A and B are shown apart, each in its own frame.
Chain A
Amino acid sequence: MSARPLRRRGVPEWLKVDNAGKIYPAARSQEWMAVYRLSVTLDEPVDEALLSQALKNTVKRLPYFTYRLRRGLFWHYLEAQDEIPRVQQDAVNPCLPFSPGRDGHFMFRVRVHDRRIAVEIYHVLADGTGTMTLLLTLVAEYLRLKYALRIPAAAPYILDLREKPRPGEWEDSFPVYARRAARPRGEEAAYPLRGTPAERGYLQVTTAIIDTGRLSGAAKKYGATINTYLAALILRALADMAAQDPRRRLRTRPVKLSMPVSLRKYYPSVTLRNFSSYVNVPVYPTYGSYSLEDIIRIVTHCMGYEMTEQLMNARFSSNVLAEQSKAIRPVPLALKRLILRLMYVLTGERYFTTVLSNMGRVDLPEGMREHVKRMDFIIGPGRSNPLSIGCVSVSGQTFLTFSKTIRESELERRVLTALIREGVPVTVESNRRAKT
């Protein structure tokens, strides 16, 4: 099908892959793709036909998500297409790489299981904020169709479907806000988590369901936010694990928690594409043992120092300058892919032990709040790092999800039992298949 109808709506026929997204197609392999997933659980089973209709209406407003990835001579690019993805049944193993046979040429899939609507997306297309916008706008439209509700557009995640797509939504904001001052990208390698590989293609998911009020109360005892408190618990568990690691060479490395930061709070960008950076918080277990208070102080000060506009800008500006370099641009894509893949292997995931990506508290508008019972954020497997952590709070509950490709559950056990000792009740749920 031609892309003319999209062009008529003022949507570009093709787009350059954004600065942060460029690494993902290069680093991907047949086994691995940077995929993550956000889901909403409603109070009633989902009507698949209505959801398909809602998806059709939503992608008209958010056509950017239907773009497909193509190879150019020098860079990958995104090309508009008019097809609408079909709703798929959910599976026990989320976040599998995209394939043309199952997903068409789309880079996101909408899945349904009982009361849950999930969006799985390839990171080349959007970061968490963009995907949350797609998911919540879709759910709002679904609820409108089902209950004839009038859910108002609510910043930042729910868009008005009667509006036309705005060009700022597909802007690559990195070069817009980058400056000439760059920051060196090199860092000290982090302690790597390792374990017994799990079944191939089966991401093991464990979700901890925590009362947000109790969690916030526990964090406030230390004068910390929920994000800082969770980060500190994870870092302390990692530091304890690293200190007990028999491999002396690795034991001396810092444990590092990578925490993605949306750049939209620094700049007036409304983009739905990738526009986030990260902060890697290190703790050095080799220098001695740390109390939770110590680590909370480290996280607070490290985040406070790193999360200034100047340092954030310098971090992403170095990537923008590299992309715009006259020496790099004319290199053929095949060669660039080799270099970028090597860079990803040598630097990408080597600089952190695990990721904690926290979407924070999601405020839903009146009408939607009554129907949304739960949200989940699952980060797909890393290329080499076997465990990632996603977090989202909604309806008074926080959902902390550990997703991993190893069998051992040591990190999540340490983190969640630490929460229990702090007086915060935790309920756990997993995607393990029942033994027969």
Chain B
Amino acid sequence: MSYCVHCGVELAPSERDCPLCGTAVQDPRCDWQPPETPPYPDIMDVREARIDRRYARQLVAILLTANAVISLLLDVFSDGRLSWSPYVIGGALLVCCWFVLPLLFTFRRPYMFVWIDFAALGLFLLLVALMTGGLGWYLSLFIPLLLLTVLILSLVMLALRRLEWPWLSRVALACLLVGLYLPGVESIIRSFGGLDLRFEWSFYAAVPIAVVALALLLVERNKPLKNEIRKKLFI
């Protein structure tokens, strides 16, 4: 039988420290041992997503197939050749990859889905490039932009999810990565347009982002301010 020296309440055998004030129980005669059967099991319930995945898979498959078949038939019957239906089918597959694919799987693989999303975009624009008869813009503008975006996005996700820093510091690092991304975009566009390598608009966009990152780092260091913000924004 242990009592909290601060609150005066008796602690149940399952309590290592006082649930009211957090004061640790220190009995010099015997160390605290967890009871054989604690009042609550160690299992934690997790909230389930409210999506019927099997139904969603069937629905998406039916919608996509119907869309593809109707588009193909209309296209072929109207002028005897494929003209616009590949865009419709490709667009539908692209939307499916972006919005529906993550909902259909129970596992969480955000990096995989990001790469799949950008690969799907790359394939769709390749289709557009091939059908419009020009691969120039695709290879020299789109592919470098795509690779840069995927790289930066993956780094942002890594920073936000994997780094064991305080979350505001992680957001600040993500902001800095976005700040680096913009000059990269401008340089690719200027190189595609045959212009000399200078930073114009990207500088004005990157500076405020860097200021935000700095402000977040300052808030992270100021614990009272951070707690106040958390309390105010508590939903």
Which positions in A face B, CB cutoff 8 Å?
30-31, 89-93, 96-97, 99-102, 113-115, 194-197, 201-202, 205-206, 208-209, 384, 406, 409, 412-413, 416-417, 420-421, 425-435
Contacts and interface: CB of A to CB of B under 8 A. Distances in A.
A115 B41 CA distance: 12
26 contacts: A91-B40, A91-B41, A92-B40, A92-B41, A92-B43, A92-B45, A93-B45, A96-B47, A102-B45, A113-B40, A114-B37, A195-B231, A195-B234, A196-B234, A208-B9, A409-B20, A413-B20, A413-B21, A416-B7, A417-B7, A425-B10, A428-B10, A428-B11, A429-B15, A430-B14, A432-B19
Contacts of A206: 19-20
Contacts of B12: 209, 427-429
B234 A194 contact: yes
A429 B19 CA distance: 7
Contacts of B20: 206, 409, 412-413, 416-417, 428
Interface in B8-27: 8-12, 14-16, 18-21
Given A100-B52, A201-B46, A427-B10, 18 more contacts: A31-B47, A92-B42, A96-B45, A96-B47, A102-B45, A113-B41, A115-B37, A195-B231, A195-B234, A196-B227, A197-B234, A201-B45, A209-B12, A426-B9, A429-B12, A429-B15, A430-B15, A433-B42
A409 B6 CA distance: 14
Contacts of A427: 9-12
A420 B6 CA distance: 12
Nearest to A200: B47
Given A92-B40, A197-B230, A429-B15, A417 B9 contact: yes
Contacts of B40: 90-92, 113, 205, 431
Contact of A99 (B10, B19, B38, B50): B50
B21 to A, nearest CB: 6
B154 to A, nearest CB: 26
Contacts of A93: 44-45
Interface string B124-149: 00000000000000000000000000
Contact of B47 (A90, A99, A195): A99
Contact of A417 (B8, B14, B48): B8
Given A201-B45, A434-B34, A409 B10 contact: no
Contact of A196 (B41, B46, B48, B231): B231
Interface in B148-191: none
Contacts of B8: 417, 420-421
Contacts of B234: 194-197, 406
B39 interface: yes
A353 B44 CA distance: 29
A208 to B, nearest CB: 8
B44 A416 contact: no
Contact of B10 (A115, A421, A426): A426
Interface of B: 7-12, 14-16, 18-21, 34, 37-48, 50, 52, 227, 230-231, 234-235
A227 B11 CA distance: 24
Contacts of B227: 196
A91 B44 contact: yes
Contacts of A416: 7, 9, 20
Contacts of A97: 47
B47 A201 contact: yes
Nearest to A114: B37
B37 to A, nearest CB: 5
Nearest to B13: A429
A382 to B, nearest CB: 12
A399 B50 CA distance: 35
A201 B19 CA distance: 19
A229 to B, nearest CB: 18
Given A196-B231, A416-B7, A417-B7, A430 B19 contact: yes
- Centre residue among B18, B20, B34, B230 by max chain A CB count within 10 A: B20
A195 B227 CA distance: 9
A99 B16 contact: no
A97 B8 CA distance: 35
A33 to B, nearest CB: 10
B9 A409 contact: no
A360 to B, nearest CB: 23
A429 B32 CA distance: 15
A434 B52 CA distance: 35
Nearest to B32: A434
B201 to A, nearest CB: 40
B45 A91 contact: yes
Contacts of B37: 114-115
A96 to B, nearest CB: 5
Contacts of B235: 384
Contacts of B15: 428-430, 432
A193 B40 CA distance: 27
Contacts of A434: 16, 34, 38
Contact of B19 (A89, A100, A114, A428): A428
A244 to B, nearest CB: 15
B19 A409 contact: yes
A413 B50 CA distance: 38
Contacts of A92: 40-45
B127 to A, nearest CB: 37
Q: 5 smallest A-B Cβ distances: which pairs?
A: A429-B12, A430-B19, A99-B48, A91-B45, A413-B20
A390 B21 CA distance: 21
A92 B16 CA distance: 16
B230 A196 contact: yes
Contact of A429 (B14, B47, B50): B14
A39 to B, nearest CB: 11
- Centre residue among A89, A205, A409, A430 by max chain B CB count within 10 A: A430
A428 B46 contact: no
A191 B4 CA distance: 30
A380 B212 CA distance: 39
A115 B230 CA distance: 39
Contacts of B47: 30-31, 96-97, 99, 201
- Centre residue among B14, B16, B39, B45 by max chain A CB count within 10 A: B45
